[in-house]
Chains A and B, each alone.
Chain A
Amino acid sequence: MKDQILNDLDAVVAETWPDRDFPPVDLESKAFADLGLASIDLVVLAERLEKRYAKKLPFGAFLKTLRDRGADDVSIGDLVTFLERHA
């Protein structure tokens, strides 16, 4: 399941920003620090993932939880866990 979601994520990121050169992504990768995404990119990514999974995903709650626990970035592992639960 994790691998499938990681593959989905990889594909959506590549489709969303075809002109950007991303490093290989694993569960330890950080959305901002490693992929160079900005906060608005996560809004775009959320919308694309909702389209891929054809359902509304509670991204706001996910991001707020990260912020509340003082996270300074969004790890791909956290994102995959979130998608496993909700997608």
Chain B
Amino acid sequence: MPELDVNGTRLFYQQSGTGPDVVLVHAVTSNQAVWMFAGLVDALTEHYRVTSYDLRGHGASDRPKSGYTSAAMASDFAELHKGLGLGPAVLLGHSFGGVVSMHAAVEFPEAVRGVILSDSFFPGLKHIEPNFGKMTIWNDLRDTFAKVGVDLGDTVDFTRLFRTTASLSAENYKTLEDIYGAFGRGWLRQLPQLAETNCGDEVLEVAGLTEERISGITRPVIALYDEFSPFLATCEWLKQHLAACSVEIIPNAKHLALVENTPAFTDAVLRHLKTITEG
């Protein structure tokens, strides 16, 4: 299994294709399989060398107790980048993966050619984002967990989600497994494992990625936000404050455009990658 030890943590990665480097950075509670299942890896490898990896604590990577801030994970990226001998890469980050990517653009600009964000919320921009905590996807989760008599609360709280899942009875866990189905079972399985870590709290820390530092990013940034995203205020802020930011709205999606509207998402990524790498 391809893996690399970065910052004392073993990260599982996959690499395929040839061409300019593209690195795929998934969201909290996800893993790199999401890119493969959507067919995005195959779509990109015709033109790019694509590296995807599991963030620490996720997928097949190690699960240390701490190191889950965007700063720590940007450092993981930089070490992975160095260890694999990649050239300046375009980072495609979904949700928190976009935060890690932007943090990498701040701290390790030599490793980052550009960033494509997908529906990211930035803890450092919480004050301009009225919809944090009111995410539809969280409401969906809350409603589903309510079916087994569990209250997740009204506001996004990953730690509560992880600990709640870890303390579910076998019967309630099985009920949720049946609700989420075969494809969602792996996602559910990961939640109690993350309860053993500080991930839930640390991913919501500003961790140095302040408003000022985000606005200082000079690398090209493509902000792909979903039509029904809870974070459209963030999208507008990025467009107004970044030196080189283009915005595109992905229709018929509410936070998971990669899955909810795969053709439009893939098309947008391919077009913008071409612009960044040939521009």
Contact = CB atoms under 8 A, between A and B. Distances in A.
Contact of B33 (A30, A40, A58, A73): A40
Contacts of A67: 37-39
Interface string B205-243: 000000000000000000000000000000000000000
Contacts of B182: 30, 32-33, 72-73
A60 interface: yes
Interface in B19-77: 31-34, 36-43, 54, 59-60
Interface string A24-46: 00000010110001111111101
Contacts of A32: 182-183, 185-186
Contacts of A10: none
Closest 6 A-B residue pairs measured CB to CB?
Answer: A38-B186, A64-B39, A60-B42, A32-B182, A39-B33, A73-B182
B14 interface: yes
A41 B40 CA distance: 18
B1 A44 contact: yes
A41 B14 contact: no
Nearest to B33: A39
Interface residues of B, number: 29
A21 B42 CA distance: 32
A56 B54 CA distance: 20
B37 A40 contact: no
Contacts of A46: 36
Nearest to A56: B16
Contacts of B59: 40, 43
10 contacts: A32-B183, A39-B34, A42-B33, A43-B60, A47-B2, A47-B14, A58-B42, A60-B41, A64-B39, A67-B39
A63 B37 contact: yes
Q: Which interface residue of A32, A37, A43, A59 has the most chain B CB atoms within 10 A?
A: A43
Nearest to B52: A43
Given A47-B1, A47-B2, A40 B60 contact: yes
A61 interface: yes
B153 interface: no
B75 to A, nearest CB: 23
B87 interface: no
A67 B182 CA distance: 12
Q: Which interface residue of B14, B32, B262 has the most chain A CB atoms within 10 A?
A: B14
B181 interface: yes
